[in-house]
Amino acid sequence: MELFAGSPSESTTAGSKPSAPKCPQVEPYKAKFATKELDALDDYLTTEDFRNKSIARLSGAVQIPTESFDDLGEVGVDPRWDVFYPFAKYLEHTFPAVHSALQLETINTHALLFTWPGTDSSLKPSLLMAHQDVVPVPKETVKQWTYPPFAGHYDGKFIWGRGASDCKNQLIAILEGVEALIQADFQPKRTLLLSFGFDEEISGQDGANHLAPYILKRYGPKGVAVIVDEGGAMLESWGKSWAQPGVAEKGYVDVDIVVRMPGGHSSIPPAHNGIGVASELISLIEANPYEPSLDEHNPYLGLLECGAEHAADFPKKLKKLLHKRDSNAHACAKKGRKDELAIEAAKAGLGTKYLMTTSVAVDLIKGGVKTNALPERTQFTVNHRINVGTSSSAVLNKIGRLAAQVAVKYSLEPVFFNGSEVPNSITLSYRDTKLEPAPVTATPVSPNSTTPYSLLSGVTRALYGEELLVAPGIMTGNTDTRYYWDVSDHLFRYSFGWDKEQTGLGNIHTVDERIGATAHVDAVRWVVGWVRAVDEAEF
């Protein structure tokens, strides 16, 4: 299939060859195979009748409070997991064709794996993902919501409620698209998998951590052709609209730090107690942040190249630094040399800075038990999101060096990463959620072949128009794809619904979460286009 479109920035000079574009854009792509039923389906998805039904389906899903809490006990033991039973029943009632035509397996009680068998077993399956759970709504914030957080209220433009944009919209859009294709008598050649975890918001240990090995065992290493999960959305930058499917994720590590110092009566305190020493270490950590650094594999470098190539409003200084980087490709790798391009790009704001910087945030702290007793044990937790091009070991080494400085100053024993804790010490440990930066999915675009990335780009531009440009993106947070690295080489974290009038990420994880109805309905249309297109692809 022909997907390639040349870059408008290609130029020639006398006696020279055209310069190869760094960010070629593919032509819009729609599936070639069609029937009158599929044509009728395309028309129906644009009707007011479908829009109203689609809004009602998402609203109903939001009304079931599938919250996942950090302190949840074992599945089957803690009754708070039981909310996923009525949610599964809601899906069964709402999508009867899916539950009839697809094989449904429940993994670890609440994870859902649907399989739509294809007619050609030689083709690797494709996989669409989403998660059923949502972050909790703190009781003290309920009154701040414009509409009740689990009402699923539709105001004529937005569907409001927890999970409306993270990510019941994606889960429902996937099921709506597949339901519609079944009703249009579509039969896939390529097997389609739908994988829905139920604890993504608390790291996916019980959901995706069980689903991925199950799929891996069935299809083998790299046995799935392409995976699309939640992730990067559309944004406006440099006067252009961009779709940014996430092709990488930053790493992750939580470091727990415990300061153990002698207690005693607070009426005769020493010059420094455990809380004071912990505070000094926190201040030292915050005073030594990571510098922005753009590794050659970081997808944000690809976005900058796209901006320089396609956007007239792209900053001249960034373009100059890009050219300088090209001219001296290894300059930034030299020890001790600051990355000028990354530092300049990071000035766009924190949302941009942390696409290319290891983040450090003290998120939890606890110390002391009584006002007249000196604290004997003070603990705090430092969360890191690890930049592409570095590693968890580099992060642990740095925070260890800082902690050692404070330990020496106060004659405390440094006990680092060995699982023990002793009196008169500073102890460092990391949690089992430690994760290296994800493998980066390749994003080749070629006039001679179709790749998963070029197909995704073509389907997106077919739906939203050629004014939407596609560039690789990176996730500062982590998705359930962290467990799927061995399942496929082609992992995309992509929120494929777009409402041009809606800015931002729909207030995910906070008060007044919502999604534009247009974005949701178009997400269904994207799913239909994607399933049909990937069915014809030869990868």
pLDDT > 70 in the chain, percent: 94
Cβ count near 413 (within 10 Å): 12
**Same domain membership, residue 230 and residue 108:** yes
Same domain, 426 and 443: no
Whether 67 maps to a domain, the answer reads yes
Based on the domain organization, do 85 and 70 belong to the same domain?
Answer: yes
pLDDT bin (cut points 50, 70, 90) of residue 113 is very high
Regarding whether 284 and 371 lie in a shared domain, the answer is yes
382 and 450 fall within a common domain = no
Both 133 and 183 in a single domain?
A: yes
* 250 touches 440 (CB < 8 A): no
My answer on whether 95 and 230 are in the same domain is yes
Annotated catalytic residue 200: yes
Same domain, 366 and 257: yes
Query: Mind listing the pLDDT tens digit for each residue in 506-523?
Result: 788 899 999 999 999 999
Is 344 annotated to bind ligand? Answer: no
Which of 15-19, 180-184, 286-290, 302-306 is least confident?
A: 15-19
Q: What is the pTM of this model?
A: 0.92
Would you say residue 231 lies in a domain?
A: yes
Of 163 and 507, which is predicted with more confidence? Answer: 163
Q: What is the pLDDT of residues 343-368, one digit of tens each?
A: 999 999 999 999 999 999 999 999 99
User: 43: annotated binding-site residue?
Assistant: no
Q: Of 176, 179, 200, 309, which is the active-site residue?
A: 200
Mean pLDDT, the chain, whole residue set: 93
d(CA 215, CA 229): 15
Residue 149 above 60 pLDDT?
yes
Domain assignment of residue 326, yes or no: no
Give percent above pLDDT 90 in the chain. Answer: 89
User: Sign (positive/negative) of CA torsion 42, 31, 473, 255?
Assistant: positive
Active site residue 133: yes
Residue 399 and residue 453 share a domain = no
Please give the tally of structural domains in the chain. Answer: 2
Pairing type for strands 158-160 and 514-516 reads antiparallel
- 461 with 504, same domain: the answer is yes
pLDDT of residue 329: 61
pLDDT exceeds cutoff 50 at 385: yes
Query: Please, which pLDDT band fits residue 4 given cuts at 50, 70 and 90?
Result: very low
- 166 annotated to a ligand binding site: yes
Higher pLDDT, 2 or 409: 409
pLDDT for res 17: 53
Q: For residues 393 and 461, state if they share a domain.
A: no
Q: Decide if 221 contacts 447 (C-beta within 8 A).
A: no
- 261 and 144 assigned to the same domain: no
Q: Dihedral sign, CA of 134, 359, 486, 456? A: positive
- Which amino acid is it at 41? L
Give the CATH number of the domain where residue 235 resides.
3.40.630.10
Candidates 133, 176, 199, 295; catalytic one = 133
Flag whether 265 is marked binding: no
Residue 471 is assigned to a structural domain of this protein: yes
- The shares of helix, strand and coil residues in the chain, as percent rounded to the nearest 5, are 35, 20, 45
Is 509 known as a binding-site position? yes
